[in-house]
Amino acid sequence: MNTLHTVLAAVGEGRIRGGWEYVRAAYAICWTGLSLYAVSLWIRSRRSEELK
């Protein structure tokens, strides 16, 4: 059991160290993209209601 814990602790953080810059870039693109699309829908929705 102790051996298993030692092995799991050794691999616990992954072989690729760091990489948070990729995670931050990915989430920033995702949230910005969805937010911009939401704004685009809101503007088009307002325009559509005005034309009714």
Residues engaged in binding another protein (CB under 8 A): 11-20, 22-23, 25-27, 29-30, 33-34, 37-38, 41-42, 44-45, 48-49, 51-52
| Rg, Å, the chain Cα set | 23
CB of 2 to another protein, least distance (A): 19
| Closest to another protein by CB, 1 or 50 | 50
Distance CA 20, CA 32 (A): 18
CB of 3 to another protein, least distance (A): 17
Distance CA 52, CA 44 (A): 13
